[in-house]
């Protein structure tokens, strides 16, 4: 299964100047828990990888990049469509963790099965956005509202 996991604001903003403009430890724990489950495999773009300052521990890290130079702790992906088409690991899910361009490409491929979204009730003036995919997916799970560090948010799961 191919799952996207994302946190975004009211405008579907995910980053501002290359960084996530909020800190919600509960959501960070949710992200870690989800991406370490079901095979613990994550796919990210090279900018997201640089922002994280290294591979995510406890997970198999795939990085989409045009750069051919090896990166310690990761497996490089140079052709996303081919990678997704050949992704047949039924025992291990693939978690797509960003950024905006990678989310858009995976959604455009039509191969994503689910979206795990943390929706934050705020507008951070972001300049990177999660694509609008709601017409292709239906809401299957919706949490109660949570509050931490002055932010109100909820967890939602969308499926095809």
**Cis status of the peptide bond prior to 99, with omega within 30 of 0:** yes
CB neighbourhood size of 20 (10 A):
19
The pTM score is 0.95
Residue 134 has what pLDDT? 79
List, for residues 25-79, the tens digit of each pLDDT value.
Answer: 999 999 999 999 988 999 999 999 999 988 999 999 999 999 999 888 999 999 9
What is the rounded CA–CA span in Å between residue 112 and residue 96?
Answer: 9
């Amino acid at each position: 299964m191919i799952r996207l996991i994302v946190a975004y604001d009211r405008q579907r903003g995910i980053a501002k100047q290359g960084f996530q403009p909020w800190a919600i430890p509960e959501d960070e724990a949710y992200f870690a828990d989800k991406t370490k489950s079901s095979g613990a495999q994550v796919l990210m773009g090279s900018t997201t990888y640089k922002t994280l300052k290294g591979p995510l521990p406890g997970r198999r890290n795939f990085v989409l990049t045009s750069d051919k130079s090896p990166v310690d702790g990761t497996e490089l992906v140079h052709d996303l469509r081919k990678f997704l088409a050949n992704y047949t690991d039924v025992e291990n899910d693939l978690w797509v963790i960003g950024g905006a361009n990678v989310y858009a490409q995976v959604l455009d491929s039509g191969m994503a099965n689910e979206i795990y979204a943390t929706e934050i009730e705020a507008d951070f003036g972001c300049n990177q956005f999660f694509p609008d995919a709601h017409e292709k997916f239906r809401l299957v799970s919706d949490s109660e509202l949570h509050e931490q560090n002055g932010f109100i948010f909820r967890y939602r799961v969308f499926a095809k």
